Amino acid sequence: MGATQWWQALILGLVEGATEFLPVSSTGHLLLLQHFFGLDGEADKSFAILVQLGAILAIVSAYFARLLRIALDLPTRPAARRFVLGVLIAFLPAAAIGAGLHGFIKGVLFNPLVVCVSLVVGGFILMVVDRLPLRPTHHDATEFPLPMYLGIGLVQCLAMIPGVSRSGATIVGAMLFGADKRSAAEFSFFLAMPTMAGAFAYDLLKSYKLLAFNDVAMIAVGFVAAFLSGLLVVKTALDYISRHGFAPFAWWRILVGSAGLAGLLVFG
């Protein structure tokens, strides 16, 4: 990552924030862009994880009032403690698998062909789920049954494959377990906080020695861009999903994945 690539860091940050909380795979989008930008070094691979800090702070900022309310309710309200326990239960499977398979994920799965295939396949799955005649029985992300939180966490592990989409996996999992679209999307936001923070901290611990000063500076550029675009998406995504469902995101995945496959065929 060189000094001539500041514009690339800006674009990557904007894309990270815009796609992180939508079921389209932010990591997949970043890996494809990095591949066609010619950014294939180890530090470049870490960029896709580390720039998530901006998106993490965006969702914490957007949900700060609710998070504070939950924190203040912890000593007195069993429902608040139960929800926090549910988020932790959903987070643990991905934390364990991510730590155990970190080398394999970054060394083998972080490649553009895997991303493109995952985007296309995931797009068709998302379209099918969106059209299923599901009968939601859960309408509040803070009141799912504890086994349901665990089930969503296990489904989230599929997102270890770049291109699958962490938010897409959690939303689809929650809907199949009985959540409506809005509460499924909202729980994916809550689960994003510990999951993304854990991935950020673990990757930083593993790769900080590979980063030069200029890399850190460009990560900062990406961070600011990811924060701003992520904040905009978080504030608008729930209403959009409630009105339009997931079909637009499914078609976007198929379009980007197909374009990526065509690009790989033509340019390598």
Range of 70's domain? 3-267
Show the 3-state SS of the chain: CCHHHHHHHHHHHHHHHHHCCCCCCHHHHHHHHHHHHCCCCHHHHHHHHHCHHHHHHHHHHHCHHHHHHHHHHCCCCHHHHHHHHHHHHHHHHHHHHHHHCHHHHHHHHCCHHHHHHHHHHHHHHHHHHHHCCCCCCECCHHHCCHHHHHHHHHHHHHHHCCCCCHHHHHHHHHHHCCECHHHHHHHHHHHHHHHHHHHHHHHHHHHHHHCCHHHHHHHHHHHHHHHHHHHHHHHHHHHHHHHHCCHHHHHHHHHHHHHHHHHHHHHC
**pTM for the full predicted model:** 0.87
pLDDT digits (tens, 9 = 90+) for 74-111: 999 999 999 999 999 999 999 999 888 878 887 788 88
Residue range 136-169, pLDDT digits in tens: 999 999 999 999 999 999 999 999 999 999 999 9
Domain count across the chain = 1
